[in-house]
Structure 1
Amino acid sequence: MSKKVYIRLKSRYWGEKDQSVVIGDIAQVIVDGAGEQEIKNILVYKVDMSKKLYVIDSMFIVNKIQQLIKNVDVQVIGPTQTIVYSKQKNNFKQPVLLLFVWCLLFIGAGLAIMNFHEDVSMQEVHLKLYESITGETVEHPILLQIPYSIGLGLGMILFFNHVFRKRINEEPSPMEIEMFNYQENMDRYVSVYENEAWKERDG
């Protein structure tokens, strides 16, 4: 009677330089009986830093288990590929690039806000509001402009749900959701076009 093995692959895994990736690193394993640790320790890939990513197909995992262990019935649940990303070394260019991108985004965001205010005549709106509330006409209604500026900054913090690296509450921010969707689409693309198993079949 064959032993049942249930495998659930992770969507992605980050590997260190020259790391020997075993099944236990990239998947949850449940075995009907003994031998779970033996299956978890089966080598499937050695991280090659010349490749930024490598796709491990579920069929490769099934074939590897059946070659090494006899009389097993392997059931794959969930994702059918795992993408192994190689952790690249940080170099001196990254902080400089980060600073450049940060400055670029900061200036761009500031210009976008100023252009928006100019388009909707925000200065004129503030003047009219101030005159309606106080009955006075002034050139710079700072009693409205200062709270408005503070509220604009606080609104952005609440919208992105972060103060630096600290999250305000447990809900994901719109940026995190967009990044998650981007990563999911990237993984899906890589699974289709970088999967060696599919390349061999198509070739």
Structure 2
Amino acid sequence: MVNTIYVRMRSRVETKECKKITLSQTAQIIAPDQYFQDLHNLIVYELSKNDNQLVVLDVMRVINIISLHFPDCEVQTIGPSQTIIEVIKKKKLTSWPLFLFVWLLLFTGSGLAILNFHEEVSMQAVHQKLYWIITGKEVTKPLLLQIPYSFGIGMGMILFFNHIFKKRFNEEPSPLEIEMFNYQQDLDHYVTIKQNNESVKRLDGDGD
């Protein structure tokens, strides 16, 4: 009777540098009980200092390693054909002056963007017109409308991004999170294709 090992590669994993990567870190495994623990601890890749921050682990390499250690088993793969291993470097402490500079830069830039937008669409004239329609009085600074409107912009941005500091209002992802997810998917796709192209070039070079 042939024992079957089912392997489903994970899309992306994170690990520290210069570390041995096991099969359980990079894939989900279904296997007979007598093999499961050994498969769980099976080393499929060993990081070195020469590796980049992103390392692509191909399923063919995993199948080859499993076959060498378990020759009497059949390997079946499901799902992605590659796992991207992201090497987490040691974090450097961010200096407070740099943090304050970046915060001030973003705050000033976003504030100027809002001010320029309101100037372009003549928002003050719109508020003056609305105030005249509601009260019948003409004023140059309709603060009764401008102050609530200013608070409304801030509240609207909080609700739009679904965050206030680290607190979430609900489980629905914000537009920013969706864009970041799409960017990550595109980046992973690019890395895998680039890695495959480089592997093909190396093989062609060896053939020459």
Structures share a fold, TM > 0.5? yes
Q: Does 1:29 align with 2:20?
A: no
How far did 1:139 drift?
1.7
Q: Which residue pairs with 2:83 in the alignment?
A: 82
Letter in 2 for 1:171: E
In the aligned structure 2, how far is the partner of 1:96 from the partner of 1:198? 47
SS at match of 1:138: coil
Percent of pairs with identical residues: 49
Letter in 2 for 1:52: Q
Query: What runs of 5+ residues in structure 2 fail to find an aligned partner?
Result: none
Q: Cα distance 1:156–1:52, how it changes in 2: closer, same or farther (>3 A)?
A: same
Aligned-pair Cα RMSD in Å = 1.9
User: Contact 1:15/1:47 (CA < 8 Å) preserved in 2?
Assistant: no
Q: Which residue pairs with 1:44 in the alignment?
A: 44
Query: What runs of 5+ residues in structure 1 fail to find an aligned partner?
Result: none
More deviation, 168-177/38-47: 38-47
How far did 1:100 drift?
3.8
In the aligned structure 2, how far is the partner of 1:98 from the partner of 1:47? 32
Q: Highest relative contact order (Cα 8 Å, sep 6+), 1 or 2?
A: 1
SS at match of 1:140: coil
Q: Does 1:188 align with 2:189?
A: yes
In the aligned structure 2, how far is the partner of 1:41 from the partner of 1:194? 26
Q: Which residue pairs with 1:137 in the alignment?
A: 138
SS at match of 1:123: helix
In the aligned structure 1, how far is the partner of 2:95 from the partner of 2:4? 47
In the aligned structure 2, how far is the partner of 1:159 from the partner of 1:192? 35
More deviation, 12-21/128-137: 12-21
Q: Cα distance 1:98–1:118, how it changes in 2: closer, same or farther (>3 A)?
A: same
Q: Does 1:155 align with 2:156?
A: yes
The number of residue pairs the alignment matches comes to 203
In the aligned structure 1, how far is the partner of 2:101 from the partner of 2:75? 50
Q: Which residue pairs with 2:59 in the alignment?
A: 58
